[in-house]
Structure 1
Amino acid sequence: MTSASSDRLVVLTGADGRLGSRLAFRVAAAGGRQRLLVSGEGTAPRLPDGAPLPEAEVVAVPSDVDSRVLTSAFAGAYAVFLVPGRDRPGRVGKHRAAIDAAVLAGVRHVVYVSSVGAGPDAISSAARDDWLTEEYLRGTDLRWTMLRIAMFHRTLTLAVYDESYGSTRSTVLRAPAGEGRVASVSHDDVADVATAVLLDEDPRRHAGRTYHVTGPEALSLDEVAVVLSSAAGRAIRYAPQTVDQAHALFYRSTAGEVEDWISQCQAIEAGVLATVSPDVRHLAGREARSLEAWLDDYPTEWAHLRLPSVR
C-alpha cells in the first residue's frame, strides 16, 4: 500500500462526491494529512462507525466560491486534487479560479481530473472545457498531472429505462452513441491512480504527465446491455438514439447536462473513448475493473436496474 509523508497536506476538492470520497479513504488509509472540501449540501466521508477520517480537516465551500475563499482553503497544502465542475456555462471560470487560488496559496502540485479526448476541437463539451483548463494550468508555474478519464461504469447504468407500448414492456439502454465502443472505468480505479500520484515519495515523477484512466476493455453498447442484463436478471437491449430523441428524453435536465451527455455519447460513436490504456495497471499495480466486475462489487450502485420500474 502507498504510504504518505506526514509533512505533506493534500486538499481534495469534491470530497463529498463518489470519486473524492473514495480518494479520501485511500489517503486516510495511507496515513496522509488531508483537507476535504465539500459543497454546502454535501457531507464529508466518515468511517463505518460514524467517526471522522483521521488526519482529515473538513471545509465547506459554496458552489459559487471565488479565488479568495479557495486561497484560504488551499493554504498550507502541498498538492490539490481538482475535480471539474458540473455546471455549464461558467465551469472553466471556476476551474481557473481554483488554479489561481492554488498559485496564491503556494501549492506545489495540482492533479486535475480531465477527460479522454480533451482538446480544442473535442467532440465532448466537457472535454473541450477540460482542454481549456489544462492549458490554463500548463501556463502556471505549478507542477501538474492530468488524469484523463473515460466514462464511468455507473453512468452507463443511468441510461437504462423501462418503456411500455400498450401491453408490451421492455427495458432499454438508450444513448446517441451509434455503434461506438467505450472503455468505461470505475471510480475506484481513478481513485487508486490519484492516490499513487498524490502520495508518491517522488512527486516530480508525475510532474508534466498526462495519464489516460480507462477500463480494461472497450465494449459496444450492445455488449454493455448484455452485461447489464446478466447482472440485473432481466433483458436489457440497446436502442441507439438520434440527437433529437436524446434531447426529448432529457427534457427535465439543464441544457448543460444534456449537452454534456449527448456530446460524450457522440464521442463514443466517433471512437474517441474506445482506446484501452495500461495506465491503471502501471500506477495502481493491478488491472482495471471491468464493467462486469464493478457490477459484482457494487450492487447498490445499480440497484435501480432490478426494480420493476427503472424510470
Structure 2
Amino acid sequence: MTNTLNDSTTSAMTDSMILVIGGTGKTGRRVAERLTAQGLPVRVGSRSGEPPFVWEDPGTWEAALDGVLAVYVTYYPDLAFPGAAETVGAFARTAVAKGARRLVLLSGRGEEGARISEDKLKESGADWTVVRASWFAQNFSESFFHEPVLAGELALPTGDAVEAFVDADDIADVAVAALTDDRHIGRTYELSGPRLLSFHDIATELSKATGRQITYIPVTVDEYRKALEDNGLPVEFADLFELILDGRNSHLVHGVEEALGRKPKDFADFARDAAATGVWNT
C-alpha cells in the first residue's frame, strides 16, 4: 500500500481540517509537516494551539474539532496509564458527534492496557486505524534518553533484553497514509525497526555515530523509578520497561512494509542522521 490519495479522499480532505493532537511532539510534528506539504489544512492540537487542546479539559475539545474531518490521536503520557481509556473514548465520541469521520490512534506495541483505549476509540463508530509502535529511536535524541546520551551513560532497567526501535519518521509516514487513504480504514499496523537491539547494541551504535564513548549501565526498576521521581517525571514510566524485560516485543513486526510497501529505517541510519544535526554535541 502507498499513501497516495484517491480522488474522493483528496476532495474531502482539502475542504476539511485535519486535527493533529500532540502536533508539537515527536510523531505529531512530523505528521503535521507531511500533511502540510501535501497541501492539506492542519490544526495542531496542543495547549499552545489556536484554539488550545488539553486532554485534561474536555471543554477544549469541541472548539479544536470544529470543521475537522480526520484526527491523529496521540495521548500523553501513555495509553496504558490509568484513566486513559475513558478519556480517549470520551474524546472519540465527541469527535464523531462533531463530524470527524476518521480517527488514527497511535498506540503502543505489546501494551495490554493500551488495547482498552483502542477498543474505546473503535466503539465511537469512526473510520479507525490503529498504529502500534515499538519504542521510538528518537527517544535518544528528542526525549527521555537525550540527556543520558549527552552524559555518556545510559543507566536503564533493561538488562540484556532486546527491542526493535522504530524511527518516528516511519511512524509519521504510516499515520499520514492512514489519515489520507481509505485503504487503511479498519487496519491495525504494528511497527518496528528492521532488527532487534539490546541496550548494549544501542550504546555501541550511538558511540559510532557520536565519536564518543556511550556506556550502558543496567540498573534495577526501583533505582530507575527513584531517578524519575528525582527529576519530576511520572514514576509510571518505569513500569513500561516491563514491555522490554518480559520479551513480549522481542520479535520483528512488519507494519511499515504492510502500510507503505518499503522497509523501515535502521537504528544505525537514525543515529548517523541525528548526529549530523549536532543534537548530541557536548
Q: When the two structures are superposed, what TM-score results if normalisation uses the length of structure 1?
A: 0.78
Answer yes or no: is 1:224 the counterpart of 2:208. Answer: no
Answer yes or no: is 1:193 the counterpart of 2:185. Answer: no
Mapping 1:85-104, distance limit 5 Å: 85-86=76-77, 90-104=83-97
Q: Please list every run of 5 or more consecutive structure 1 residues that lacks an aligned counterpart in the other structure.
A: 44-57, 120-127, 164-169
Aligned-residue offset at 1:63: 5.0
Aligned-residue offset at 1:136: 0.9
Question: Are the structure 2 counterparts of residues 219 and 6 from structure 1 closer, same or farther at C-alpha, using a change threshold of 3 Å?
Answer: same
Aligned-residue offset at 1:73: 2.0
State the Cα RMSD in Å.
Answer: 2.5
Is the CA contact 2:88–2:120 (under 8 Å) kept in the aligned structure 1?
Answer: no
Between 1:89-98 and 1:217-226, the stretch displaced more is 89-98
Question: Are the structure 2 counterparts of residues 37 and 141 from structure 1 closer, same or farther at C-alpha, using a change threshold of 3 Å?
Answer: same
Is the CA contact 1:72–1:105 (under 8 Å) kept in the aligned structure 2?
Answer: no
Q: Within 1, Cα distance between the matches of 2:60 and 2:226?
A: 39
- Give secondary structure in 1 for the equivalent of 2:230: coil
Residue of structure 1 in register with 2:101 after alignment: 108
Kindly indicate which of the two structures has a greater share of residues assigned to strand. Answer: 1
Aligned-residue offset at 1:194: 0.6
Aligned-residue offset at 1:116: 0.1
Aligned-residue offset at 1:176: 0.8
Q: Within 1, Cα distance between the matches of 2:199 and 2:54?
A: 37
Residue of structure 1 in register with 2:214 after alignment: 236
Q: Deviations over 1:252-277 (max 9, x none)?
A: 2446x2222x2222211111232222
Q: Within 1, Cα distance between the matches of 2:19 and 2:222?
A: 41
Answer yes or no: is 1:6 the counterpart of 2:11. Answer: yes
- Give secondary structure in 2 for the equivalent of 1:303: coil
Answer yes or no: is 1:268 the counterpart of 2:244. Answer: yes
Q: Within 2, Cα distance between the matches of 1:78 and 1:62?
A: 19
Q: Within 2, Cα distance between the matches of 1:253 and 1:96?
A: 31
- Give secondary structure in 2 for the equivalent of 1:78: strand
Is the CA contact 1:176–1:266 (under 8 Å) kept in the aligned structure 2?
Answer: no
Is the CA contact 1:154–1:301 (under 8 Å) kept in the aligned structure 2?
Answer: no
Query: Percent same amino acid among aligned pairs?
Result: 28
Q: Select which of 101, 108, 123 maps to 1:139.
A: 123
Q: Deviations over 1:213-238 (max 9, x none)?
A: 11111101111111011111122222
Q: Please list every run of 5 or more consecutive structure 2 residues that lacks an aligned counterpart in the other structure.
A: none
Kindly indicate which of the two structures has a greater share of residues assigned to helix. Answer: 2
Q: Within 1, Cα distance between the matches of 2:28 and 2:105?
A: 12
Q: Within 2, Cα distance between the matches of 1:161 and 1:85?
A: 22
- Give secondary structure in 2 for the equivalent of 1:110: strand
Residue of structure 2 in register with 1:69 after alignment: 60
Between the two proteins, the alignment pairs up a number of residues equal to: 269
Aligned-residue offset at 1:291: 1.3
- Give secondary structure in 1 for the equivalent of 2:35: helix
Question: Are the structure 2 counterparts of residues 180 and 156 from structure 1 closer, same or farther at C-alpha, using a change threshold of 3 Å?
Answer: farther
Aligned-residue offset at 1:162: 8.0
Q: When the two structures are superposed, what TM-score results if normalisation uses the length of structure 2?
A: 0.85
Q: Deviations over 1:56-78 (max 9, x none)?
A: xx532245320x53123223322
